Structure formats: structure tokens, C-alpha cells
Amino acid sequence: MIIVIDGPAGSGKSSTAKTIANRLGIQFLDSGALYRAITYLWLKGGKPDKAEFFENLPKVQLQTEYRDQTFFVQADGEDLTDQIRTQHVADHVSEIASYKEARSFVNRYMRNLVTEGAYIADGRDLGTAVFPDADLKFYMDASLEERANRRFLEMRETDQSVSLEDVMKNLRSRDQKDQSRENDPLKKANDAVVIDTTGKSFDEQVSEMIQVIKGKTTLN
Ligand code: CDP
């Protein structure tokens, strides 16, 4: 069983999916974290030539685990969970994610993972490209101002130097790249349930989505 949530940067997909996973006792899968991990590896390697980097990518052993409200990511045994959340990674991730080699690597990992058990996953193209037959699809959105403000408050907890202006610039540019790329762009699936969270409290949006899940799947 797979439930997917797609939507633009900072629309609250991950925090919502985590809470729903905990309440319903299912697994959480963060596809953006996998693109961030690849981006981190490319940056750590000193921004190598892309053709060479992508040729070696399939040899990387990714491992993920969701526990204690955290989606842990390891690559070849190195824990990347914190490093993938920096502004530096955020500034490059949409470029790396636009390559078809990155997309097929991440998609293969995700499809293998969800063959057993129940999952809620979040991303950009899950309902359209990765899991077109998902049991249930959501599309979450909110105004750019609200998304930037939420992300700014979240990032400031660990990085005091971050500014609202930079966060807004990053979200705007990532949305633009994610929507206009050739390979599996961010797009609402025709059969997705749209959740606009502008002006809604976190608890309100979670309750609304849990109601939909209980109505449309066998989970309760
Ligand atoms: O949490 P946030 O909305 O900031 O982004 P994320 O889910 O961590 O994803 C980071 C980036 O990965 C996005 O801006 C996309 O460029 C890329 N991504 C993607 O292309 N396809 C996905 N299914 C998930 C993420």
C-alpha cells in the first residue's frame, strides 16, 4: 500500500506525512532526502563531471530508515541525515534532480522499498511518474510567502545566519526548476486530492487528510 503526497517546496509535505505515518502506524519515505543525498555526494566529491558522477552512482549503497520523527539516510555506511539539510545542498538539489540518471536511481530505490508493508511518501512526481497506481494521491500547496516563512522558522532553529529573503529566493527558484524540467516535472496528478494549507493549522490539515485516507483506503 502506498499513499503519495506531491507539492512545491515547503508546502509541509514531510512534516504532515511523518505525523500521518505515526498516527496510522505506517512507514514514511522522503524522496527529496534521496535527491539531497545524491547532491551532497556530488558536492562532497568537489562537483565532478556529471557524466562520470552519474556513471558511478549506481554503485552507491543507499540505506534509509524512518524512526523517532526522523528520516535517516546513509550512503555507503556514512550517515548523511543532518548534512543533507543545509542551504548549500538546497541550492544545488534541483539541478541534480533534473538529470534522468538521478531520477532513475532514486525511483528504483523507492519502488524496491515499498514492495512490502504500508507507506506514505512525499515528493514532486510520485503520483505522476513513480507510483502512477498509488492507492491514494494528495497534492499539497500553500502561498509562497507562507511556505517561505514556515521553512525560515524551521531552518533558523539550527542555523541563525539564514534569512527569510534567502529562503524565499531558494523556494522560488527550486519551484521554477522543478516545474519546468523535462524529466518528470512537479505536476498535480489528475486524480490527486488537493490540500491547500494556506491559513490552516497543522492539526487541521492532518485531520483533513486522515479523514480522506480512512474514507478511501483500508487503513483506520
Ligand atoms: O522539503 P522540500 O520541499 O524543501 O524539498 P525536498 O522534498 O527535500 O526535495 C528537495 C528537492 O529534490 C526538490 O526541490 C526537487 O528538486 C527534488 N525532488 C524531486 O525532483 N523529485 C522528488 N520526488 C522529490 C524531490
| Each residue's pLDDT tens digit, 60-103 | 999 999 999 999 999 999 999 999 998 899 999 999 999 999 99
The preferred substitution site among 93, 104, 108, 150 for testing ligand 1, maximizing ligand atoms within 8 Å of CB, is: 93
Is residue 6 lining ligand 1, measured as CB closer than 6 Å?
Answer: no
- Give the pLDDT of residue 159: 82
pLDDT in tens, 26-70: 999 999 999 999 999 999 999 999 999 999 999 999 999 999 999
Q: Residue 190 — very low, low, confident or very high, per pLDDT cuts 50/70/90?
A: very high
Strands, DSSP E only, in 178-219?
193-196
Q: Which of 155, 184, 159 is nearest to 171 (CA)?
A: 155
Is residue 36 lining ligand 1, measured as CB closer than 6 Å?
Answer: yes
User: Has residue 160 got a pLDDT over 90?
Assistant: no
Side chain identity, residue 117? G
CA 140/CA 202 separation, integer angstroms: 12
Q: 189 alpha carbon to ligand 1 midpoint, in Å?
A: 17
Is residue 178 lining ligand 1, measured as CB closer than 6 Å?
Answer: yes
What are the angstrom distances between the C-alpha of 49 and each of 41, 43, 55, 89, 96?
13, 11, 10, 17, 12
CA dihedral 73, 54, 181, 173 (to 10 degrees): 60
Q: Whose CA is nearest to atom 6 of ligand 1?
A: 32
Which cell is 135 given?
A: 492507492
3-state secondary structure of 152: helix
Q: Which domains does the chain have, with CATH numbers?
A: 2-205 (3.40.50.300)
pTM equals 0.93
